[in-house]
Structures are given as C-alpha cells and as structure tokens.
Structure 1
Amino acid sequence: MLDSGWPVLGRLLVVGYVGVAGLLAWQLATQRPAIVVDHQGIHHGRTYRPSAPGSTSC
C-alpha cells in the first residue's frame, strides 16, 4: 500500500521552519541581516556591507 504525501509535506514544513529559525538566529547573533532587499536588489550572506550616508564609494 502506498503512503500518502502528508508525511513528506510535514517534513518539508519542519525543514522550512528550521531554516527560518537558523536565519533569525544568524541575524540576532551577528547583527547582520541574512537577506536584504532594497532598491539595489537582493543581497545575502556576509559580503553585504551598506555604505554610510554621504559616502562617495560604490
């Protein structure tokens, strides 16, 4: 007898919640956002460094 898809869906939901909790923990621990969406696009990870207001560097 074939199993229904509910156990798979449940596992995917748990993985999604764990991922979101991990990103939240990352942001709280490092005070750096894991994902930033602004007018310049989508930035993620540790490489994003916002420039200071009035800065001339790109």
Structure 2
Amino acid sequence: MRAFSYERAKSPAESARAVAGTEGAKFLAGGTNLLDLMKLEVETPAHLVDVQDIGLDRI
C-alpha cells in the first residue's frame, strides 16, 4: 500500500472542496472496499476524505 493523507469532512460542502482541490483524492465511507483495493494497489489515492459522519446516509 502506498502512503496517503486522510481527513474527516465535517460537511458535504467541505468534502467536495477537499476532493476537488486535491489531485488523486477519493471519498471514503462505511461499507467501501476501497481499502482492499488500495492494499492490492488497484486504487492508489493520494488523499482520502472520510464522509461517513456528514449525514449522507439518509434519503
């Protein structure tokens, strides 16, 4: 696995700014297999933005 930076977003707008403003950034949320893909080096994001706790789990 390659080195990456991590941040936990506090709002949907903040998460969008973080990903748009950082090349190679990806969203991370509960139930994703992104970490498995990173271990296999199928995905190699430079920055992860955790969106699990910003209220996007409701319709």
Q: Compute the TM-score of the two structures, normalised by the length of structure 1.
A: 0.28
Q: Which of structures 1 and 2 has the bigger CA Rg?
A: 1
Higher helix share: 1
Higher strand share: 2
Indicate the structure whose relative CO is greater, using CA pairs within 8 Å and at least 6 residues apart: 2
